[in-house]
Amino acid sequence: MNLLASEGVDEMVDGARHIRPHWRGVLGGLSMLSDSLAARQRRLDQAFDDEGVRSILPGTHIDDEADGVWRCDPIPLPISAMEFAELEAGLAQRATLMGALLDDLYGRQDVLARGLLPPALVFNNPGFLRACHLSSPTFHPRLNFYAADLIRTGDGRWHVLSDRTSGAAGAGLARENRRILARVLPEMFRAVQIRPLRPFFDLWQDSLTQAAPLDRPHPTVALLTPGPGSPQWLEHMFLSRELSCHLVEGGDLTVRGGVVYLKMLTGLHRIDVILRRLEGRMIDPLELSSGSLLGVPGLMDAIRAGTVRVVNDPGSGLAEAPALAAFLPALCDELLGERLRLPSVETVWLGDPEARARVLGDTARWLIRSATDGLGQPKPVSDLDPDARARLLEDIARRPVDYAAMAAVSPSLAPCAKGAELVPQAIVLRMFLVRNAGVWQAMPGGLARHLEPGQLTGQLPARGISKDVWVLAEGSEHIVGPAPQPQTRLPIRRTFGELPSRTADNMFWLGRYIERLESAARLTRAIILRLGRNIPMPREHMELQLLEACLAASHLNAPERQEAGAPLAVAIAASIREGGTIARLLGHVGRLTELVRDRLTGEMYASFTHMLRAAADEATNSGGNLDALAHTMASIQRFSTVVAGLAAENMVRGGSWLFLDMGRRVERAALTCDHLGVVLDQPEARWELGLRLALEICDSAITYRSRYFTTLQPGPVLDLVIADDSNPRAVAFQLTTLGGLLGHIGDGGDDRLKLQAESLLRMAQAIVSDLLAEEEHAESLQAVPPRLAALAEGVRALSDLLFRRYFALLPMPRAVGVEQEDETPGLGQGVGRQPALRGAA
């Protein structure tokens, strides 16, 4: 039996084939579109693409079919104000009931003692966390946020398909759907008056603040996420922005003395409320799941001490057990003294012999599902092959308490845009409620999605089509927001260190990889331009050898060239294919951009991704043609330039910008030293060749000509590319800027890293001053390459110290018997070198 093949109620048309009143405005808005619906669908898909709903990683294949990615249908799902009020009241009652049930099951357990609920549905439930028993202070409810999946059945009523008490996804996606839909289809919003979503998030933010310990006047809230590997990472980022809270992973937090702290650049900052988007049993590896690498050791101890509040409570997933639906009417009578207003889809627990006999006597009418796993998909017994059917029935006979049965129902149908046509699709509606000041209030909207086979219940699928949900507004309605709270005046804050160490680490390495990518593209383009000439002269052969040696000195040359002795042109073409050097660097930049996207504005993120994709597409389509390859390298250089410009003009001079720029300066200084050391390590007869390449590599030829015309001398060239702190390509410029950035972080008087940068600057300036002081440049110029190598080593040692001080939060090393101020970077530090390239920082 295919559940979705059954005909359900039509959301848009009634039984007399008349358009329902609340749909008329939507259809009127569609008729006002200045172009076709298909064209708006393409614009909507492009907008979601720009916002990063699909992956930006170069080389990743994205299926652009209609249901290949998470999309938003341009046709919303409208709900009348009266129907929404009924749903809100019914869901608020269910949320209250779920909260009372959780308080009892993790407290006195009266419902078990009175026989209102079978113990097998509690103690056999993996969602029941014994460490949470009596763990929450009595004045804090265990449920702060609630969601429910609903379907409209054949009788025209909404029924609850699943209760979501742990931390349902979708609220952030609903907000994004509304925001982008309003931008792409403004005509429809002018045709219909709908209730806004923003007040709901204000209420939610206010409820999180109220959940903090009472002694905290300005509480700090963090959203705990599994990280970028989670399918819901995008929504977690959206939510953290909407709720103005820190987006953190388990590794960002630490428990000291029963208090939870966030590891920031300037030290440990206390966290008062955690909005949990991590599975409950994973939050503390000491007391819950010992194999969890995502949680915070000691977090349960902090919860019991009352120093932090976790919303929702880690054990709240217990109430998502599907079989509970069979007992909710009786529980509502006993716990609330009320009749259950909003029913569940008919469900029975197969641990009851009478219910089991009824289900097994008519299996075609029922879907079998786990009694305790709310994420498991129901199985239609009649569709199973004979062997699978026999195994399932055998399991039910052996362990009936592990199974529940849900009536097979026909979901309602709503129109979906498919090209220029509207086609009916089965839908499920997810609604969200938040508890504020003791009252449950629903989001005036929600997230509807088209039902596909195998997606009836469980987590939101990674692929599919969603709908914005419109609650129609009435003229007399008032927008409900949080009640005004007395507040103390906030002090002005202009700090540089208010940044999690992990984010600073990712920003730093994003800057380094962008600079490394730009350098590889610059050198590769210089090689391609020389290879493209008809017959390279001997001088050009020497230039090619030196440029290739520059790539090798920085570990930027293609492995195919090293391993197989491939011709240079073939090796360069291979470097942009999958696994090649340029392709790998593009991948690193793409991954790091995803990791820090919560720190980038939408415009910055779109600019980053557009140019990154364009460069990756050009590289893929170049086909080894030298002209196409040169154009690809130029596109990569433009991408790096755009990143630098956007960062300079759009990012506040705080921690994110600071570490992004710091990474660029560290990498450019080290690579410039590497490359200059290669091209200057020449016999006297090739000095001019090396000096010209030095100017080309540092993009300083025009400046040199404007200062010195065409005469090439070692002193002026090296002054321009090494010691001139006004030249943005010179080593001294990088070190001067780096010292200034280190001085802005604010270490409470600890400026040892800044002093190290200043020491490196003096080393760079001394290279040129010593050269200029000699009348004969021969011996002095021969000494420059090893001094540049030592300078590059010192820059990388400074990077290691940055990692230790700001990312790992370890004490700064001290050399025995050496004054810290006099230490030479890279010598006697006792710091293990970080690898020149990192995978995902």
pLDDT of 622 over the 90 cut: no
What does the block give as tokens for 791? 């300078």
Q: Which residues contact 780 (CB under 8 A, 6 or more apart)?
A: 714, 770, 771, 774
Indicate if 530 and 665 belong to the same structural domain: no
In a domain, 728, yes or no: yes
In a domain, 821, yes or no: no
Looking at per-residue confidence, does 19 or 810 come out higher? 19
pLDDT computed for residue 254 by the predictor? 94
In angstroms, rounded to a whole number, what is the distance separating the alpha carbons of residues 368 and 392? 9
Indicate if 641 and 664 belong to the same structural domain: no
pLDDT computed for residue 647 by the predictor? 87
In angstroms, rounded to a whole number, what is the distance separating the alpha carbons of residues 799 and 105? 53
pLDDT computed for residue 494 by the predictor? 54
The highest-confidence range among 247-261, 481-495, 596-610, by mean pLDDT, is: 247-261
pLDDT computed for residue 832 by the predictor? 35
What does the block give as tokens for 242? 């909407």
Cα distances from 267 to residues 180, 357, 507, 634, 747, in angstroms, run 38, 63, 18, 42, 9
User: If you ran DSSP here, which 8-state letter would residue 316 be given?
Assistant: G
Number of domains in the chain: 3
Would you tell me the crossing angle of helices 538-553 and 687-697 to the nearest 10 degrees? 50
45 pLDDT band, cuts 50/70/90, is confident
What does the block give as tokens for 600? 């980038």
Q: Are 15 and 8 a contacting pair, CB within 8 Å?
A: no
Using the structure block, give the residue that is written with the tokens 């009435």: 474
Element (H, E) at 222: strand 221-224
Indicate if 438 and 560 belong to the same structural domain: no
> What is the tens place of the pLDDT at every residue in 58-117?
433 344 443 446 788 999 999 999 999 999 999 999 999 999 999 999 989 999 999 999
Q: Are 247 and 236 a contacting pair, CB within 8 Å?
A: yes
404 pLDDT band, cuts 50/70/90, is very high
> What is the tens place of the pLDDT at every residue in 160-215?
999 999 988 899 999 999 999 999 999 999 888 999 999 999 999 999 999 998 77
Q: Sign (positive/negative) of CA torsion 124, 128, 132, 133? A: negative
pLDDT of 712 over the 80 cut: yes
pLDDT computed for residue 114 by the predictor? 94
Coil, strand or helix at 279: coil
Element (H, E) at 94: helix 81-105
502 pLDDT band, cuts 50/70/90, is confident
Per-residue DSSP letters for 763-828? HHHHHHHHHHH-S-HHHHHHTHHHHHHHHHHHHHHHHHHHIIIIIS-PPPP--TTS-GGGPPTTSS
pLDDT of 750 over the 70 cut: no
In angstroms, rounded to a whole number, what is the distance separating the alpha carbons of residues 486 and 114? 45
pLDDT computed for residue 53 by the predictor? 57
> What is the tens place of the pLDDT at every residue in 471-496?
998 755 555 556 555 555 655 555 55
**Among the listed residues 313, 309, 310, the one whose alpha carbon sits nearest the alpha carbon of residue 213:** 309
pLDDT of 838 over the 50 cut: no
Average pLDDT, integer, range 240-254: 92
Out of 63-77, 330-344, 653-667, least confident range: 63-77
Element (H, E) at 73: strand 70-79
In angstroms, rounded to a whole number, what is the distance separating the alpha carbons of residues 512 and 589? 9
Q: Which residues contact 829 (CB under 8 A, 6 or more apart)?
A: 797, 800, 801, 813, 815, 823
Out of 278-282, 564-568, 727-731, least confident range: 564-568
In angstroms, rounded to a whole number, what is the distance separating the alpha carbons of residues 36 and 347? 44
Domain endpoint, select from 597, 619, 651: 651
Indicate if 319 and 230 belong to the same structural domain: yes
Indicate if 218 and 169 belong to the same structural domain: yes
pLDDT computed for residue 607 by the predictor? 80
394 pLDDT band, cuts 50/70/90, is very high
pLDDT computed for residue 139 by the predictor? 56
pLDDT computed for residue 834 by the predictor? 37
In a domain, 290, yes or no: yes
In a domain, 828, yes or no: no
Indicate if 82 and 197 belong to the same structural domain: yes
Cα distances from 521 to residues 586, 590, 630, 638, in angstroms, run 11, 16, 9, 10
Would you tell me the crossing angle of helices 752-773 and 784-802 to the nearest 10 degrees? 170
What does the block give as tokens for 672? 């410039």
Indicate if 466 and 584 belong to the same structural domain: no
Indicate if 444 and 525 belong to the same structural domain: no
Instruction: Note down the domain range covering 126.
Output: 21-86+94-133+159-345+409-417+432-471
Range list of β-strands (E), 452-602: 464-471
Q: Which backbone phi and psi does 149 adopt, to 5 degrees?
A: -95, 130
pLDDT of 840 over the 50 cut: no
What does the block give as tokens for 36? 């076709």
> What is the tens place of the pLDDT at every residue in 341-361?
999 999 999 999 999 999 998
Indicate if 193 and 213 belong to the same structural domain: yes
Using the structure block, give the residue that is written with the tokens 């962008």: 514
Could you tell me the maximum CA-CA distance found in the chain, to the nearest angstrom?
A: 105
Looking at per-residue confidence, does 577 or 186 come out higher? 186
Instruction: Give the amino acid at 115.
Output: G
pLDDT of 275 over the 60 cut: yes
| Percentage of residues of the chain with pLDDT beyond 70 | 86
pLDDT computed for residue 666 by the predictor? 96
Q: What angle do CA 598, 604, 609 make, to 5 degrees?
A: 90
Q: Are 200 and 434 a contacting pair, CB within 8 Å?
A: yes
Indicate if 237 and 113 belong to the same structural domain: yes
**Among the listed residues 762, 756, 761, 757, the one whose alpha carbon sits nearest the alpha carbon of residue 828:** 756
Assign 3-state DSSP to the chain and report helix, strand, coil percentages, each to 5.
Answer: 50, 15, 35
From the CB of residue 22, how many other CB atoms can be counted at a distance below 10 Å? 19
Element (H, E) at 255: strand 253-256
Half-sphere exposure (CA, 13 Å, Cβ side) for 338?
12
In angstroms, rounded to a whole number, what is the distance separating the alpha carbons of residues 171 and 814? 50
As a whole number of Å, the end-to-end CA separation of the chain is 49
Indicate if 524 and 641 belong to the same structural domain: yes
pLDDT computed for residue 746 by the predictor? 59
Average pLDDT, integer, range 668-689: 91
In a domain, 369, yes or no: no
Per-residue DSSP letters for 648-708? HHHS-TTHHHHHHHHHHHHHHHHHHHHHHHHHT---GGGHHHHHHHHHHHTT-HHHHHHHH
From the CB of residue 370, how many other CB atoms can be counted at a distance below 10 Å? 18
Residue 513 φ/ψ region, left for φ over 0, alpha for ψ in the -120 to 50 degree band, beta for the rest = alpha
From the CB of residue 442, how many other CB atoms can be counted at a distance below 10 Å? 24
Per-residue DSSP letters for 422-461? EEEEEEEEEEEEEEETTEEEE-SS-EEEE--TT-SSSSPP
Average pLDDT, integer, range 33-62: 70
> What is the tens place of the pLDDT at every residue in 101-159?
999 999 899 999 999 999 999 999 999 998 887 655 555 788 999 999 999 998 889 99
Indicate if 584 and 716 belong to the same structural domain: no
Q: Sign (positive/negative) of CA torsion 624, 626, 631, 635? A: positive
pLDDT computed for residue 703 by the predictor? 92
**Among the listed residues 505, 511, 837, the one whose alpha carbon sits nearest the alpha carbon of residue 669:** 511
Average pLDDT, integer, range 416-431: 89
In a domain, 381, yes or no: no
State the average pLDDT for the chain: 84
In a domain, 555, yes or no: yes
In angstroms, rounded to a whole number, what is the distance separating the alpha carbons of residues 706 and 689? 19
pLDDT of 292 over the 70 cut: yes
pLDDT computed for residue 1 by the predictor? 35
In a domain, 660, yes or no: yes
